[in-house]
Structures are given as C-alpha cells and as structure tokens.
Structure 1
Amino acid sequence: MRIVLALGGNALLARGQALTAENQRQNIKKAAKSIAEIAKDNEIIVIHGNGPQVGMLMEQNAVYHEASPATTPYPMDVLGAETCGMVGYMLQQEIKNIDNALNIATIVTQTLISADDPAFSNPTKFVGPIYSQEEATSIMMKSDKIFKADGDKYRRVVPSPQPIDIVELDQVETLLKADNIVIACGGGGVPVEFKNNKYRGIECVIDKDLTAELIAEKLNAEMFIILTDGSVYKDFGKETQQEMKLATPNGLAQFTFPAGSMGPKIDAVCKFVNSNKGDAAIGSLFELNNIIAHQSGTLITKGEGIQYYS
C-alpha cells in the first residue's frame, strides 16, 4: 500500500520543549521506529512539519543581525530549505539505524504557490517558539511580526498560501519506484512562484498537511495519515470532549476547527477522501501500526456521520 505520512513539527519537537538538537534527535528516534515498522510492507512518503525548526532559525537570524547589522537575515524560503536538510537528515539516519536494510532518500522539493493568494493578507500559520501574551505583545511593538494565541500561549504567525503543484514530483516518484522511503516536501516544501519562466522563493510557510494531501493525490496514495498529538475530538479541551473513532467529510462539516492547528488537517483529510483516492486518518505518531489497522486515531472515510470511542 502506498501511504503518505504527514508528521507535525510539534510531534518531532514537543510543545514547550527546548529547541535543542538532542531533544529533536530523541523525538525523531521515536518517529523513525514507527515508520520503520510499517516500511517493509508499504511504500512510504514522509512529509514533516518545520514550524518549531524554521522559527528557531528565524530567531537565530534576528539575534545575529543585531550583532552584525550588515548580515541581513536569510529569507524564509531559504530557512525552509535548511529545515528540509536538518530534519530529513535526522529522520533518514535514525530510520536506517533501526533497520539497515531500508533505503531512505531525502529530497528538497519546491512547492508552487501564487503570490496573489489571499493568505498573504491574513497570516495564520504558527512558527517558532511559544511566548506569554506579555512577551508576544512586547515583540510586536518592536517589530512587524504578528503573534496569535495558540492555546494559552502565543506564537508568531506567517502567511500560508495554498499549494498548487510540486516541482520535483517526478523525482519523488522515481525514488519510490526504486524502493526508497522518500522524505519530501519538508515544511510543506520550499514555497516558490513561477513567473517569466523562472522560479523564485516567496516569504511564507506552506501548511505541510495541505502539501501532503496534494502529493498524496498526485502520487495516487491509497492512504493519507496525519500524525500529530492524537485523534480528532469533539469539544476538545472541555469536560464534554469526545474522541472520534470514525468520521466523514460530511460529518466533520458540522464542526469548526482552529485555523492555525487542526483546521488545515481536517481540510486536508477531507479533500483527500473526497478525491476518491482512498481513506485518511489523524492520530498519534506513536500509534501508527494501530492507525493503519483502524484501532487507534480517527479514520476519515466516505459516508455519513461520526462514530466515537466508547
């Protein structure tokens, strides 16, 4: 079975955890174990998030610029490409360490977007570390950065335009056919515009779940899985919360999910299911085998209604 796995940046670096290479390495070891367990019997494409990682590089850029004003910060598309190498390298190495017989390839991919996308007038994508409301307000007063609430904390938000196409799609397909686990479209892919017969980077972050859905459709995946903190919930965080076992696009349409977190995930899985390519699921990174067996997480499929875990 051909499976596209979308790994959230926060699944690879837990919320509130220090942005160190060692912390990321330990989390990636756990992710690698889950991926390796299903890799022998399936074709796997891994798309990882990069919110914490690219945010850290942005913060480092800003500090370096203060110390050396002549050194201008690198643009976000370049930082996005850096995180493709950073996370891809660690994933590639740790999967190989678990099973040396597996072939793994990381490819830096460009994702085509439109510079006229309305997302540029309403930034929603969370990047970087978390801050208190007071810290976020202080930073906004001193810069052009925009922060929004993410739970009870605040994080920076940037534009998140819709992905249109994957420039290196043929290369990903070639690697899959050569029996590789392919790590591609890291952070949603490096955002580029094609204009006057040339590609150029755009200052934004593409939602990796939407890019993962796009590549799942284009590569005819049979299952699309978003791995994050856990399942989809009704009334998440409230005393009345209920964990969804099975959901349908029609059933999910009755709920409103946060635009900066679960909202794009729901949009992505519903779009894939409605494409009639296969089923989708949302669940914990550490329950991957059980998600595939429909014993954990939330399965999204055609039909009507919602079923909850008892």
Structure 2
Amino acid sequence: MTDQISDAQFTARTLSEALPYIQRYAGKTIVVKYGGHAMVDERLSAIFARDVVLLKTLGINVVIVHGGGPQIGKLLDRLGIVSEFKGGLRVTDEATMEVVEMVLSGPINKSIVRAINQAGGKAVGLSGSDGNLIQAEKAQKTERDPDSHIEQVLDLGFVGEPSAVDTSVLDALLKSNSQLIPVVAPVGVGKDGHRYNVNADTSAGALAAALGASRLFLLTDVAGVLDKNKNLMREIAVDAIPDLIADGTAAGGMIPKLETAAQSVKHGVGAAVILDGRAPHALLMELFTEHGAGTLIS
C-alpha cells in the first residue's frame, strides 16, 4: 500500500512540475518527423501514438510527417525492381515512384493513422500532393568525380525538394477546437502535376517553417548529436553547425538532419530538436521536463 501511495505521489508531482511547460505549448503547433526504429517497433509505435494523443488533449497541435525507406526497399525487392544509387541516393524512376507513393501514402500512412485512432485520437492521413500541400521541384544534386575531381550533376529521376508549401489543408484541420491530427506522407507535386519523392526530414522542416511551428522534432535512431567524445550535445546554436560538419563532429546521416534543423530555425521555427525515437516517451521528456531528451538547435 505504501509503495502504491509513493507511486501515486511521484506521478502527481511529475504532472505538477510539467504544468509550466504545458502552459507554454498549449495552442502552439509542433511538427514531428517520425521514422526509424520507433516506427517499426510495435511497442514504441503504440507509445508514440498514445503520447501524440496526450499532446493533442493538452491543446498542442501536432503534425506528423513520416518516412518509409526500408519498407519501400522491401517492396521493390519483392517486385524485382532494381534500384540504382547515385551519390548514396536512390534514383527514382517512374516504376520506383509508383512503389514510393503506394507504400508511403498507403500502408505506412494508414498504419500510423490507425495507431493514433486506437489510442483515442482522430488522425487524418494525407499526402503532400493533397491540396498542393508540398509543392516540389526536381532535386539538384552533384557529385565529385573521383578521377577528374570535377563536380557532376546527378540525375535522380523523380527525387524532389520542396519549392513551396500551401498550408490551407492543414490550417483547416488544425482550426480552433479541432481534434484532428494530420499524418503526412512526403510525396510532393510539381508544377507539371508530376509526383516527387521528397525526403521526410526536409518535408517536415518545410512544413514546420510554413506553419510557424514552435518546435520541429526529428526522431532518429541515435540519442542526438554527439561530440567527439560521444557525449550528447544538449544544445547547438545554428551558427555553430557549419563548424561541426567541417571538423567531422557531425557526419553521415546527421548532416542533412542538422541542415534541415538549421533551415527551419532560420525560417521562423522556434527551435528544432534531434531526438532519440528509440526512447519511450521521448517527445514528452523533451517538451515537459527541464533538461529535455535530445539536441536542441536554436
């Protein structure tokens, strides 16, 4: 009985300590890029869905943008569609784009929607093509030839980058007193009406900037940005990011995440957080505790 009272007191104290943070974010908008291990682990997926519903219940507008690279790769293999890679990026031809849209806008999107609804929320699945939400243009990437050292333009097919964002469909879903939670698949549409495969991190950053979000969360499979001694860096100023990349502190897949975080902050997002999606309740710890749970870029 004593243990039960202690547990109850701990829970009550935790809720009380969270009050200033709840008040800070009530009525505000956050954008969450959801992917990695958190999305494929059933237990973590259920925890994430429940936490999202809690945030919405507390009056915080949540917009989710999800990835799906591994699932796309598996279906391409099953269909016998061979992918070509240039500069570490998958070339998206017409056949591949068909699979990308099928997987992102279909089973992945709807599984997230169902999980949130099962947790008591009201999620709505969208594609970046809906309402011209994510307008895209062909990505311009280059690679240095190892022999001549000349920069060469890479043709990645229908890989796109956001060129504009029309938030009207999200504005309608997030209007006052709405309980709807948008879940967005990062498939953009070009001026010519063609669909484009847009990186989920980049899409989330573009949406966060267009919505004037208070926070952009990039869920990943590491604790956050680590220094050269492998210790978590709790906070990074935007101006420090180029040096972290130049000296090798940030490398590989962390570079585009930091660049996305920096761009979103420069375009009006309150702050961006690179967060460990493998940690249960990572979103709640970052939002509602003093020390947070990831790396804050401000």
Runs of 4+ residues deviating >6 angstroms = none
String of CA shifts for 1:84-119, please: whole Å, max 9, x gaps.
2212211111122222xx22111122233223x322
Deviation at 1:277, TM superposition (A): 3.2
Q: How many residues align?
A: 234
1:201 has 2:195 as partner: yes
1:30 has 2:27 as partner: no
Q: Where does residue 79 of structure 1 map in the other structure?
A: 100
Deviation at 1:45, TM superposition (A): 0.1
What is the correspondence of 1:162-177 to structure 2 with a 5 Å cutoff?
Answer: 162-166=161-165, 169-177=167-175
> TM-score, normalization: structure 1?
0.67
Counterpart of 2:57 (choices 15, 40, 45) is: 40
CA distance in 1, matches of 2:103, 2:194: 16
Q: Where does residue 253 of structure 1 map in the other structure?
A: 242
CA distance in 2, matches of 1:89, 1:58: 20
Contact 1:77 1:190 in 2 (8 A): no
Contact 1:32 1:94 in 2 (8 A): yes
CA distance in 2, matches of 1:221, 1:206: 20
CA distance in 2, matches of 1:10, 1:78: 21
Distance 1:160 1:75, change over 3 A: closer
Distance 1:242 1:271, change over 3 A: same
Distance 1:158 1:38, change over 3 A: farther
What is the Cα-based RMSD across aligned positions, in Å? 2.8
1:109 has 2:128 as partner: yes
Counterpart of 1:224 (choices 216, 219, 222) is: 216
1:297 has 2:290 as partner: no
Q: Where does residue 85 of structure 2 map in the other structure?
A: none
1:118 has 2:140 as partner: yes
Percent identity over the alignment is: 20
CA distance in 1, matches of 2:34, 2:241: 22
Which of structures 1 and 2 has the bigger CA Rg?
A: 2
Letter in 2 for 1:194: K
> TM-score, normalization: structure 2?
0.70
- Secondary structure at 1:164 match in 2: strand
1:280 has 2:279 as partner: no
Deviation at 1:159, TM superposition (A): 7.7
Letter in 2 for 1:288: L
Deviation at 1:278, TM superposition (A): 0.8
Structure 2 stretches lacking a partner, 5+ long: 1-27, 83-92, 144-155
Contact 2:97 2:158 in 1 (8 A): no
1:58 has 2:76 as partner: yes
Q: Where does residue 6 of structure 1 map in the other structure?
A: 33
CA distance in 2, matches of 1:25, 1:158: 34
Q: Where does residue 144 of structure 1 map in the other structure?
A: none
String of CA shifts for 1:44-64, please: whole Å, max 9, x gaps.
000011111111221122179
CA distance in 2, matches of 1:47, 1:208: 7
Letter in 1 for 2:56: A
Distance 1:284 1:86, change over 3 A: same
CA distance in 2, matches of 1:103, 1:29: 15
Distance 1:227 1:265, change over 3 A: same
Q: Where does residue 23 of structure 2 map in the other structure?
A: none
Distance 1:190 1:273, change over 3 A: same
1:262 has 2:279 as partner: no
String of CA shifts for 1:18-74, please: whole Å, max 9, x gaps.
xxxxxx54442232133223221210000011111111221122179xxxxxxx983
Deviation at 1:11, TM superposition (A): 3.2
Distance 1:200 1:290, change over 3 A: same
CA distance in 1, matches of 2:36, 2:99: 18
Deviation at 1:174, TM superposition (A): 0.9
What is the correspondence of 1:135-154 to structure 2 with a 5 Å cutoff?
Answer: none
Greater Cα shift, 55-64 or 210-219: 55-64
String of CA shifts for 1:250-293, please: whole Å, max 9, x gaps.
1222112335x211110111112222331111112231111113
CA distance in 2, matches of 1:81, 1:165: 23
